[in-house]
Amino acid sequence: MRLTLIIAACSISILSAAFASEPLGNLAGSEWGIPGEQGPHARYIHFAANGQANGFSGCNQFSGRFDQSGDSLRIGPLATTRKACRPDVMKLEQVFFKVLDRARRMKATYLELLLRSEDGAELIRLTRRDFD
C-alpha cells in the first residue's frame, strides 16, 4: 500500500512538471503575480474569460480590457482607483502600469507568463497565482 502511494505521488509530480512547461495558449481565466511578492502590496493581474482584466497594482485596484490573439497581447486602457500610498509603493505601481501598457507579446506556460514589448524586449516575468 505504501509503495503504491509513493509511486502515485511520483507520477503526479512528473505529470505536473511536464504540464507546467507546456505552452499556455489562452490567458483567459488565469491570474499572475510578481514572483516573491506577498502581503498587502503584492501586485497581480487576472485575465477573465470575457476579455476583462483586473487586479491590484500595489496600492490601487484596476480593471480594463485585454485582447489576445496567439502571442499578441494588448492590455488596457485600464481604470484605477485613486488611493494614495507611500511614495515607494506608488513608484512601483507606476512601473507596473507602464509594463502592462507596453506589453504587446506574451509567452506563457502553465506557471510562467513572460510579457514582451513590440520590439521583443522582455518587460516582466510573472508567476501563476491561481495554480494549486
Confidence at residue 10, expressed as pLDDT on a 0 to 100 scale: 47
Residue 27 C-alpha cell reads as 490567458
Confidence at residue 26, expressed as pLDDT on a 0 to 100 scale: 83
- What CATH number should be reported for the domain holding residue 50? 2.40.128.270
pLDDT in tens, the chain (132 residues): 554 445 444 444 444 444 455 556 789 999 999 999 988 789 999 999 999 999 999 999 999 999 999 999 999 999 999 999 999 999 999 999 999 999 999 999 889 999 999 999 999 999 998 865
The domain total for the chain is 1
Contact 115, 103 (CB under 8 A): yes
DSSP β-bridge partners for residue 80: 62
Structural domain span for residue 54 = 2-128
**What is the H or E stretch that residue 8 is in?**
helix 2-20
Contact 67, 51 (CB under 8 A): yes
Confidence at residue 130, expressed as pLDDT on a 0 to 100 scale: 80
Confidence at residue 18, expressed as pLDDT on a 0 to 100 scale: 47
